[in-house]
Structure formats: C-alpha cells, structure tokens
Amino acid sequence: MLEKKKRRSFDFIDAYFEDFERWVERMDEMFTQKPCWNLRNCTMEPLREINMTATEVIVTADLPLTEESTVQVRPIDNSLEISAKMRRKLRLHELGISQYQGEIEKFRCHVHIPVPVNMDKMGIKYKKGILEVHLPRKR
C-alpha cells in the first residue's frame, strides 16, 4: 500500500515537471530573438505596440521612410496585417548588419489583437511615419 502511494506521488511530480518543461519551451519560442527582416520577401517588421483601454484597442506602428498612399491595413480574423512600401530601398549594412547582404523594400507585420474588437469600425491615422489604428472593443 505504501509503495503504491509513493508511486502516485512521484507520478504527480513527474507530470508537474513535464508540464513545466512544456511551458518553458513555449516561453522560449515566444521570447527568443529572431531576425526582424525577411530577405526572401525584402520585408522588415516595424516596431509596434498595442495599448488597450476600456473602450478601444490602439495599435501603433513605426513606419519610417514610407508614404501614406502605400500604407495598407487589412483585418484578418482577430489580427491585422500592416504593410507599407518604403520610399527608397534600405540596405542591411546601413542598419549595421554585416553578416547578411540584401535590401529592404517594404514593412510588413501581423499583429494579433488579444481581445474581441469591431473590425468594421476601424479608424486609421498616419502622421510623420507613425501609424495608429483605433479598434473599438466589443461589449
């Protein structure tokens, strides 16, 4: 009887550590740094931020060297796809990246919206290379 109880306790501990290892792997995938550019598509991910208030979600993206006419914001399910063409091509060595060679022509990113929002009433503002997307929250 005592042996069975010990086995169950150790099984519980083993299961706990297996769950913990899976959690650590997920966090590692989320927070490991990867390049913010894709040379195959000649794109670069812009800096972005998501702010949530009681009434809306505000997505801000930094899109330097772009024109307002080339900025596109497309809603896809519960995320946004932001893309913009740059005025001039940017070489990687200009960014201090000497290990790779290539040029960046566009900004492109997918932003996951963590709460339910009304995509139909999306408001977009662009001023001096800063894009703001206002999404009203669903009640």
State whether 19 and 42 are in the same domain: no
State whether 6 and 65 are in the same domain: no
pLDDT digits (tens, 9 = 90+) for 54-97: 999 999 999 999 989 999 999 998 899 999 999 999 898 888 88
State whether 108 and 65 are in the same domain: yes
State whether 25 and 51 are in the same domain: no
CA distance 25 to 132: 33
State whether 116 and 57 are in the same domain: yes
pTM for the predicted model, two decimal places: 0.72
- Owning domain of residue 21: 1-32
State whether 28 and 41 are in the same domain: no
Distances (CA, A) of 13 to 10, 16, 17, 77: 5, 5, 6, 40
